[in-house]
Each structure stands twice: as C-alpha cells, then as structure tokens.
Amino acid sequence: MNIQTKFNIGDKVCTIDKNTMKVKAFEVGSISVYVSKTGKPSVNYRASGDGYTGDSYEEEFCFPNETELLSYITTKELKK
C-alpha cells in the first residue's frame, strides 16, 4: 500500500484552530497516518514544535493558503 499525503514535513498550511475558531497557519512538524480495515487512510498534521499532546488537524481541513481555506468554508455544502 502506498500512501500519499497532501502536505509534507516543513510545508506551511492553513486550517481552523479548534479552540479559537480562527484561521491558524502553521508549519507541518509531524504527520500521523492511520489505516483501518476499510483501507481508507486518515491523515493528521501537527504544528512544528508541538508534541504528541498538541492539537492535530485532519488533512481534509488543511489548505496551502488562507484563500483556499476561506473558499472551502464559503462554498462547501454540508453533508446530509
């Protein structure tokens, strides 16, 4: 199985901070990948300098810049 992540260590990404609900930009310091029986990988990123106790952010909600993040927020339809 080959797993390709959207971002690499050292890349800068933008997401929504879970505590403040504001845009958060950070440099990827670590990547966690979990693959269940279904075979679908779950990828999470942590900021550089954060340990394993720091917040991680799902790949689906990480973007290369603030413009793409805001576009996702304003155009994404909710799943029913």
Task: Report pLDDT digits (tens) over 8-48.
Answer: 999 999 999 988 999 999 999 999 999 999 888 999 999 99
> What are the extents of the domains in the chain?
12-75
For 69, list phi and psi in degrees, rounded to 5: -60, -50
The C-alpha atoms of residue 10 and residue 28 are separated, in whole angstroms, by: 5
Express each pLDDT in 55-75 by its tens digit: 999 999 999 999 999 999 998
